[in-house]
Chain A
Amino acid sequence: MTRTLTLTVNRQSHRIAVAPETTLLHVLRNDLALNGPKYGCGLGECGACTVLVDGLAARACVLPVAAVVGHEVTTLEGLATAEGLDPVQVAFIEEQAAQCGYCLNGMIMSVRALLNHDPHPSKQAIRAALEHNLCRCGTHVEILKAAYRAAGHDDEGECV
């Protein structure tokens, strides 16, 4: 059964006709052409689909779209502002923290969610927060470096 829902994505309001139990990920990618969030496992296990809902990390592949009505959704596309890229994105670029890049959306969005909550998390907190974001290419070292940089840990080098 389709219903017309009003979603706020990247500060824009959209009205879409959709079955309310459709996952947010499908709506973002298929209806709104926002392909930043990736489809990895579809079971909430890998984190590739992560978006922000009211600034909190959310796995879009397990979230029925109806659950975000009335909430603010931000995708990777919405991080940058007129002034430029988000500092987390800048850090990932500076650290060249990608191999194939499939996991990057989830990594960047999760770090953003963490920093929204605590602008200066410890390295340990960063590692814990990213524990359930999977990277199949083994880019973990670079990714963590980028995350530390975004969190203001300037000392490069050892990262574990």
Chain B
Amino acid sequence: MNGSASRRPTGIDRRPGSLGGEGRFGVVIRPPVYRLRDGTFVCSRLLGVDRNSVAALPGRIEVVIEGNFVGVVATSLQAAREAARRLHLEWQPLTATGDSPPRGRALEAESSRHSGNTVETAAPQGRYLTRHYGWPSRMRWGDEPGWVVADHAHDRLDVWGPTATPTLLKRDLMALTGLPQETIDLHCTAQASGIGRHCGDDAAADATLMSRAVGRPVAVWLDASYVRDVESLGQAQRIAVSAELNAQGAIERYRNRQELAGSDTPVVALWLSGVLDTQRHDDGATSEPVSPPFSPYTFRDQRLAAPGVSREVHGDDGVLELQHGFARESFLDEVARTSGQDPVALRLRHLDDRRGVELIESVTRRAGWVWPTKANEEGLSADVNRGRGFAYAQLPDRHGRIDEGVRSAWIADIEVNRITGDVSLTRLVVGQDSGPLVDTAQLQEILQQRVLGVARPLLAREPSFDEWGENGGGESQSKLTAETRDVARAPCSTPMKGSDGEQVSALSPLDEADLSPGVAVIANALFDATGVRFRQPPFTAPRVRQALQGECGTSGSEATAGRRLSRWRWRWLAGAAVATAGAAAMLWPWKSPIAPVARPAANLYSAETIERGRLVAEAGDCAVCHTGQGGIDNAGGRAFDTPFGTLYSTNITPDEATGIGNWSYAAFERAMRHGISRDGRHLYPAFPYTAFAKTSDADMQALYAYLMAQPAVSAEPPANELSFPFNMRALMAGWNALYHDAAPFRPDPSRSDLYNRGAYLAEGLGHCSACHSPRNVLGAEQGGERYLAGALVEGWEAPPLNALSRSPIPWSEEALYRYLRGGESELHGVASGPMAPVVAGLGELPESDVRAIAHYVAAQMDASVNDTDDARSQAQQLVARSAASTSGMEAGERLFDGACASCHVDTGLPSFTQAKVSLALNTNLYSERPDNVIQSILGGVHATNVSGIGEMPGFADSFSDSQVTTLVEYLRARFAPGEPAWSGVAERVSQIRKDDNKTHG
């Protein structure tokens, strides 16, 4: 039992409160390519729309086209999605000049210290350092998807939804609709804080365009699909900072150049609909020079420059201050660390402000800051690093008076899981000097709220093809316990006795800008923990993971890098080094052994990593194959009959003598990706390394961690019994050269995240095709049209999962999901045979992952999203048609009535043991071969793996072969009367019985 049946799909078709009865649901279709880089927007051009492609769909479907903006509006979200999927659009591919590869990964490039725009040279007097810091145009909107509703009617517009930048959103909606400001009302859900614009604004504009076109309120579901906008809009800000250090390590010259406008990247709908000039948006006409950003430090020679930017654009969200604070505080940290100085001391050295100095001293005392930082590694697993960072900010008050302004010093302690990429903020000490007459308790409360508001989008999860949903890894945000302190209420130099207006401003001193150290402090702590510098937020798990992995495999590091990595890296690199040396020395096809290692200690890895590994193992169904009949989990010995002989699965428990206990990670990874055992022998492709090769590095490491943490079992599987020449393992090298692609999975950027996640799971770990694709004479899976075209496995037929599916009622994505989640689909049947343990394994995965697999498989079948009414009535007809037998096969009928009817015929007696799916809908009876029907009759269907799918006894002991044959032929004739009778049933029955006797002893 896994309780999975009780997990319900999220009720996203619930009507959002603001929509009312008249409301419609909208889905947008973005062009195949669109991107904004340095103010220039390019996108594929819409050439034509075939409205007929959705004409046949039920319900009212409206297609909204404005320039290159395409939306589909329907009466339910499901209907709109279905129509969006079917709508046929013709796009003009981008021309050669505009078609340079999208720089979507530019975000990542900024995160790593390998980014090319980093210059470090020796200057005559000392050292010269330049760094670039970036800021994305869009943040994600938060942790949960949600509704965004727009109602554009009677020359006014109402919008409900989340936004962090209401002024900017209003400006964009005015431009989009031409409505004056007073007629637009934003009913925005409260946002604790924002660190920039997020996709809620894009969704609001989408809803507005669609609502205007259909004349009704339109709701848009803001979910992970909007991440494409995040990628396409690229960077909003780039700030170059450089400094020259003198021989004493003090900063002599300091330069700060802001290269882009900032946070005002307009919503996607504005670009697509053609309202904005798609060529240039930040031309100088609307700009005016702006005062350079404030910096609290004094350097001998300092120049701060900002381009001409319309001030009112970012005036209300303070993001520009955040961006500059991030760049400056990250840069000072880099300077300090490259020159071997205490980052706090470096700042104090250049700070003239007495209150600031006092605040910093107080905060460092409170947090116990020492240099070099010595993170407490007690109780820390090898895959987790701790780190500590510092950042400071000071801003003038709203009247531009520096003395009255706010000072804020932050020290953050974090833990980074190097494998999952999760960053937990374990402790935060924030000191704020907010001037005189501040209510400390209130300040503390507000700070706490705001701090969480900043940290959440920075560290939130982000969809990625190898992200393990809500059950995987650690929940960074839930662990966030901010210890917020109003440390130093510095003595008031000017006691507050002014007017009321003054008082008010003093009592609400919390501009967004007070939070500006919040971003840099995490980046600095991340560097302290990992040696990798993140020069652009956010620091979400996939980005952290990616950056760490890039760093891990590369040699030649900065002087400061890798200080705390030594222990961890040493373990991995030791194994890797041996592999490389061995590989260089060997001749094809012999693979060298990888030296055995001592079994890693059970507590080497953190619980989070092991949990992630457990999910990976479940997705990969390791235990299904690596557990013998009635044997101990993962101890091997299960027999596989292949056309070439019998193979036995191996022991993958960490036993050193008989299992994989002395495998280093390098050996494990080589086996998983290349099918080569630790001792250099080739593994047979019954072990689906061809699929496992697609596993991402993080998942591979987590899987290793998980397997090594399991109890060791000493068990030697039987020797394989293969016929010549297949017993020559070395031949597999040639096989691999022909058929194996060891490259890890690469997501298809033109498909959704859901699709890519599903593809990653299904093609890789889930290895669906290992069973569901036919193999050629050499045992290699066939691709192309034969991909997922069905095959025979262990005497069962793995039915086709592509367009060749024989199911009498077409599968829908929803039905696939319910089948994979609950083991049963009321229109198709139950999971049995080798599929039952697969479903049981999937039961361990988060709902989102099972949905992703269903989505991917549905795409292979070209299936609809939901079961259509047509499908349901067709099913009813099939059931009704089979109510009485018309075949006149009397012997079969008698057998059926005696043995099957009590459960498989609805007599009107309400029964708990009634078969839930009518045989008239059972895909197996419509198949080209009788194998699964015969298997089910002989062996029954057992719910051991999946609770709630019902249980059927096997009739092997009570029916003779000829009785089974009679029954099978009868079933085919009665329940699939349109299909030709199977031939050779008797032979298959006796063969399957023989094979079953062999495997079951």
Contact = CB atoms under 8 A, between A and B. Distances in A.
Contacts of B903: 44, 59, 62
B909 A110 contact: yes
Interface in A88-113: 110, 113
B899 A43 contact: yes
* Chain A: interface size category: 20 to 34
Contacts of A61: 953
A56 B913 CA distance: 9
Contacts of B902: 44-45, 47, 59, 132
Contacts of B880: none
Contacts of B953: 42-44, 61-62
B912 A64 contact: no
Contact of A67 (B899, B908, B951, B955): B951
Nearest to B907: A128
Interface stretch (B656-664, B742-750, B941-949, B978-986): B941-949
A128 B899 CA distance: 16
B1 A66 contact: yes
A72 B126 CA distance: 82
Contacts of A117: 910
Interface string B538-553: 0000000000000000
Interface in A119-160: 125, 128-132
Nearest to A60: B913
Q: How large is the interface on B (under 10, 10 to 19, 20 to 34, 35 or more residues)?
A: 20 to 34
Nearest to B942: A21
A116 B907 contact: no
B248 interface: no
B784 interface: no
A53 interface: yes
Interface in B881-938: 898-899, 901-903, 905, 907-913
Nearest to B958: A43
Contacts of A56: 910-912
- Give the dominant DSSP class at B's interface: loop
Nearest to B940: A62
A63 interface: yes
A115 B346 CA distance: 86
B313 interface: no
A114 interface: yes
A77 interface: no
Closest 5 A/B residue pairs (Cβ):
A132-B902, A58-B912, A129-B909, A53-B912, A56-B912
A130 B951 CA distance: 21
A113 B901 CA distance: 18
Given A45-B898, A64-B943, A64-B951, A58 B911 contact: yes
Contacts of A69: 1
9 contacts: A21-B944, A57-B910, A62-B952, A64-B943, A67-B948, A67-B951, A113-B909, A129-B907, A129-B908
B910 A67 contact: no
Interface string A16-47: 00001100000000000000000000111101
B938 to A, nearest CB: 13
B911 A113 contact: yes
A28 to B, nearest CB: 14
Contacts of A110: 909
B336 to A, nearest CB: 59
Residue of B902, B909, B944 most packed against chain A (CB within 10 A): B909
Interface of A: 20-21, 42-45, 47, 53-59, 61-64, 66-67, 69, 71, 110, 113-114, 116-117, 125, 128-132
Contact of B907 (A59, A71, A132): A132
| Most chain A beta-carbon neighbours within 10 Å: one of B908, B942, B955, B958 | B908
B911 A67 contact: no
By CB atoms of chain A within 10 A, which of B898, B902, B951, B955 has the most?
A: B902
Interface string B446-481: 000000000000000000000000000000000000
Given A43-B899, A67-B951, 15 more contacts: A20-B944, A44-B913, A45-B899, A47-B902, A62-B951, A62-B952, A63-B913, A64-B944, A67-B943, A67-B947, A67-B948, A110-B909, A114-B909, A131-B901, A132-B902
Contacts of B951: 62-64, 67
Contacts of A45: 898-899, 902
Contacts of A66: 1, 943, 947
Nearest to A121: B908
A57 B909 contact: yes
Contacts of A125: 908
Nearest to B909: A129
Given A47-B902, A63-B951, A131 B944 contact: no
Most A CB within 10 A of own CB, among B903, B942, B948: B903
Given A62-B953, A132-B901, A116 B942 contact: no
Which of A44, A66, A110, A114 is the most central at the interface, judged by chain B CB atoms within 10 Å of its CB? A44
A43 B910 contact: no
A55 B911 CA distance: 9
A62 B911 CA distance: 13
A58 B899 contact: no
A82 to B, nearest CB: 26
B534 to A, nearest CB: 48
Contact of B913 (A59, A114, A116, A130): A59
Nearest to B950: A67
Given A62-B951, A67-B943, A114 B910 contact: yes
A27 to B, nearest CB: 14
Contacts of B899: 43, 45
Nearest to B901: A132
